[in-house]
Structure 1
C-alpha cells in the first residue's frame, strides 16, 4: 500500500514511484517481444539506426500481467478510488529509445491530452480541468533506466499550474496546441526529476503532469510504456460526501476552493 507520505507526495509533486511494481521476469518476457517487433538485433548495435522506434498497443500476457499486479491495483484504488478505474487490457505506446547523437525530434514539454482523439491532428486533442478520459498517466519501465538512458523528464508540481490553466476553459478544455502555445512557460521554474529505476518500476503520475522525452546518451536501449489509466466515471471536484481521490484533491488544491473553480467557469 502507498503510505500517507507517498499519497501526499502525489498530491504535491504530481507523481509517485513504485519500485518492483511488477516482476523483472515479466519485463524480460515483454522486452523480447518488443525487440522482435523493432526489427533490430539486441546484440548488434549497428542495427540500432534510429533514435526512437514507436510500437503500439500490446495485449500479450506479459504486458497485461505487468499492468495488473496486486501492488498496482491497490495503488489505483488509493489514488483514483475503488471502482473508479478500469483494469488495463493492454499497454499503449512504447517509445523505444536507442543510443544516438541524432535529435529524436520529440523532446518537447507536454502533457498527455485525453479526449478528442478522433481528430487526426493530434495537436487538436484536448484536456479539461476534470481530466476527461484519463485517470492517471503511467510510466512503466521495461528495462533498467539510469541517468544517461533517456529517462523521462518530469516538472515536479507542474500539474497544479496546468489545473489552473485549464479551469477557465470549463468542460470543453484546451487543445494541446493551445496548451503548448507558450511552451508551458508557467511550469518553467518547476524542479526537475528523472523517471529512473530498475525494470519493473512504475511511475504513477497526475494526468496534468508536464513531462518530456530526451535523447539517449547511454549504451543500452530504453524500453518504456506510457499507457493511461482509464476512468470508469468522471472525476468530480464537488462531491457531496467529500470522498475525493488524491487526483481530485490535487486539482482542488490548485484551485484552492470549489468556489474558485465555479467562479472560473
Structure 2
C-alpha cells in the first residue's frame, strides 16, 4: 500500500515509483519474449541497427501477470479508487530503445490522448478531456535497468497541474492529441524535469495529464519498457464535484490544477 507521503507526492509531482512491483522471474520471462521479437541478438551488437523497435500488444501469461501484481493492484486502489479501474489483460506495446547516434524521431513533449476521435485508427486524432475519459493512469513498466543514459522517459514534474485549465473549456469533447500538445507543452516549460530511471521490475504510476517525452539512448544496453494506460472500470467516471468530498488522488490533482 502506498503511504500518505507517496500519495501526496503523486498529487504534487504527477507520478510515483513502485519499486520491485514486478518480480524478477516475470521480468526475465517477458524480456526473453521481447528480445526474440525485436529480431536482434542480445549477444551481437551488430544486429542493434534501429534506435527504436516498436513491438505490438503483449497478452501472454507472463505479461498479464506482470500487469496485475498485488503491489500494483493495491496502488491502483489507493490512487484511482477500489472498483474504479479495470484489470489489464495485456501490457500494450513496447518501444524498445537501442543505443544509437541516430535520432529516434519520437521524442517530443506531449500528454497522452485517451479516447478515439474521428478516426479510431489514427492516434493523432485521439483526444483527452478533463474527465480523462478512457484513462486513469499512465503506467511505465521497466523491464530493464534504466539509468540516466538509457533513454529514461523525461517528465515535467508537476505539469499535470497545468493541463486541467487547458482542458476545462473544451468540455466533454476535449482536445485532439496535437492541439493539446501545442498548449500543454509551452504551459509547462517552467517545470523541472525528472527521469524515469530505476531497476527492472519498477513501475511508475503517472497522472494521465503528465507532460512527458522520450529521448535518444546514449547508454550501452537496450531499454525495455511498456507504457499502457490503466483504464476505468465500465462506466466509472472521474468526479470533480463530490458531495462527500471523498476525492481520489487523481481527482484531487485535477481539482488542484483548477484552483479548487
Q: TM-score under structure 2 normalisation?
A: 0.97
Match of residue 173 from structure 1: 174
Contact 2:155 2:213 (C-alpha < 8 Å) held by counterparts: yes
Q: What RMSD in Å do the two structures reach over aligned CA positions?
A: 1.0
C-alpha distance in structure 2 between counterparts of 1:60 and 1:122, whole Å: 24
Match of residue 10 from structure 2: 10
Match of residue 136 from structure 1: 137
C-alpha distance in structure 2 between counterparts of 1:74 and 1:124, whole Å: 33
Deviation at 1:189, TM superposition (A): 1.1
Deviation at 1:121, TM superposition (A): 2.9
Note the alpha carbon deviations across 1:14-35, whole angstroms, 9 max, x for none: 0001101111211111000001
C-alpha distance in structure 2 between counterparts of 1:40 and 1:66, whole Å: 23
* Structure 1 unaligned blocks of 5 or more: 258-265
5 Å matches for 1:183-194?
Answer: 184-194=185-195
* Structure 2 unaligned blocks of 5 or more: none
The total of aligned residue pairs comes to: 257
Contact 2:138 2:207 (C-alpha < 8 Å) held by counterparts: yes
Match of residue 98 from structure 1: 98
Match of residue 25 from structure 2: 25
Match of residue 226 from structure 1: 227
5 Å matches for 1:231-242?
Answer: 231-232=232-233, 233-242=236-245
C-alpha distance in structure 2 between counterparts of 1:239 and 1:131, whole Å: 17
Match of residue 109 from structure 1: 109
Q: Structure 1's 198 and 109: CA in aligned 2 closer, same or farther, altered over 3 A?
A: same
5 Å matches for 1:65-76?
Answer: 65-76=65-76
What is the aligned counterpart of 1:244 among 240, 244, 247? 247
C-alpha distance in structure 2 between counterparts of 1:114 and 1:101, whole Å: 32
C-alpha distance in structure 2 between counterparts of 1:107 and 1:256, whole Å: 31
Note the alpha carbon deviations across 1:175-195, whole angstroms, 9 max, x for none: 112112257101011011000
